[in-house]
Amino acid sequence: MLRVLQEVATPGVTAYCISKYGVEAFSDSLHIEMRHFGVTFLIIEPSNFKTYITSADENVQHLDQLWKNLDVDTKECHGIKI
C-alpha cells in the first residue's frame, strides 16, 4: 500500500492524532481482510486546513486558560511550585 502523505504527530493535539491514526489503521485492516471478497477500501487524507485546531494563538490562549484553572496540587505534579 502506497503512503502519499507523511504523518506528523503534533504536541497539544495528541487525542486528535490518535483518532486519525486509528481511522487509518482500521481502514488498512479492512482493506487486507476484505480484498479476498473483492472489496476495495480507500481512505481520503485531506491536507492542512486552517481550523481552530491549527491556530497556534488560539491554542496557546486555551492552554493558558486551562492552566489558570488547574488546582495547586495538579500544577505541582507538573513541577511548578506554587
Question: Which residue bears the cell 481512505?
Answer: 43
How many CB atoms are located within 10 Å of the residue 59 CB? 15
Distance, in Å, from the CA atom of 80 to the CA atom of 82, rounded to the nearest integer, reads: 6
Give SS3 for 42: coil
Amino acid at 82: I
Annotated active-site residue in 7, 9, 14, 16: 16
Residue 16 annotated in active site? yes
Residues marked as catalytic = 16
